[in-house]
Amino acid sequence: MGVGGGEGVLTFRGHHYRFNVSGMSVGFTIGASTTQLAGHALNLRSPGDIQGNYAVIGAGGALAAGAGGVQLQNEKGVILQLTGGKVGVELSAAVGGVTITLK
């Protein structure tokens, strides 16, 4: 079990919206890593739609400086397709429970 968090910026129709990310990983996790993710939001009609609780609908892991990726979906149908490099070593069997809130 692990807990993580971070922050990001949503660019929507030329405007930038800062947000916080908090989450929990439940399952078999070994190691530690830091990930910087970038990606696209699908089904986003307004900036507020990005807020909510997300469940993982696709995930990947990485060893050392490999690439990782994840797809998340919230209760409004917004899908985040995220990719990025990982630093460190992590093996995870299940990840979930990510919450995004606008600042």
Q: What is the pLDDT of residues 33-46, one digit of tens each?
A: 556 778 899 999 99
**Residue range of the domain that includes 26:** 2-102
Q: What is the pLDDT of residues 56-79, one digit of tens each?
A: 785 444 433 445 567 889 999 999
Judge whether residue 103 has pLDDT over 80.
yes
Give the pLDDT confidence score for residue 57 in this predicted structure: 81
Q: Which residues contact 39 (CB under 8 A, 6 or more apart)?
A: 80, 81, 82, 83
Judge whether residue 4 has pLDDT over 60.
yes
Which comes out higher in pLDDT, residue 50 or 3? 50
- 100 Rama class: left (phi>0) / alpha (psi -120 to 50) / beta: beta
Which comes out higher in pLDDT, residue 9 or 3? 9
Distance, CA of 7 to CA of 101 (rounded, Å): 9
Structural domains of the chain, count: 1
